Amino acid sequence: GAVVSQHPSWVICKSGTSVKIECRSLDFQATTMFWYRQFPKQSLMLMATSNEGSKATYEQGVEKDKFLINHASLTLSTLTVTSAHPEDSSFYICSARQGNTGELFFGEGSRLTVL
């Protein structure tokens, strides 16, 4: 199957700093990528839909100024957690939709810990 790579896999940062997470589709072009947040033993909470070349579509309750999403190319979307606080600590996971089949491929996830 197609491969989606997410980086970094884990990151620890101080409160108030910003953290950027990258999501890359390695062997296919993805016009649409999705960003999720997953709490321990819970489901995938969709944060936003990232569309190549246009603004991301955020889900209700997700602060767009807090979670900046950029999808500058067909193979790369980035999520920047700005001015991170301990409550932003979570597992963030991206997915990319393969155009031909519509199948969703997930990245390996990024565990963010804000001290």
Partner 1 sequence: GENVEQHPSTLSVQEGDSAVIKCTYSDSASNYFPWYKQELGKRPQLIIDIRSNVGEKKDQRIAVTLNKTAKHFSLHITETQPEDSAVYFCAASKDPSGTYKYIFGTGTRLKVLA
Contact track, partner 1, 20-59, x by CB under 8 A = -----------xx-x------xxxx-x--x-x--------
Q: Which two tokens stand for residue 103?
A: 């199948």
Asked if residue 69 lies in contact with residue 81, where contact means CB atoms within 8 angstroms, the answer is no
Under 8 Å between Cβ of 65 and 58 = no
Residue 102 engages partner 1 in binding (rule: CB under 8 A): yes
Are the C-beta atoms of residues 21 and 79 closer than 8 Å to each other?
yes
The nearer residue to partner 1, 51 or 82, going by C-beta atoms, is: 51
Q: Is 78 in the site for partner 1 (CB under 8 A)?
A: no
Please measure the distance between the N-terminal and C-terminal CA atoms of the chain and give it in whole angstroms. 37
- With CB under 8 A as the contact rule, the residue among 69, 79, 107, 112 that binds partner 1 is 107
CB of 76 to partner 1, least distance (A): 18
Contact 80, 92 (CB under 8 A): no
**Binding residues vs partner 1 (CB under 8 A):** 1, 31-32, 34, 41-44, 46, 49, 51, 93, 95, 97, 99-109
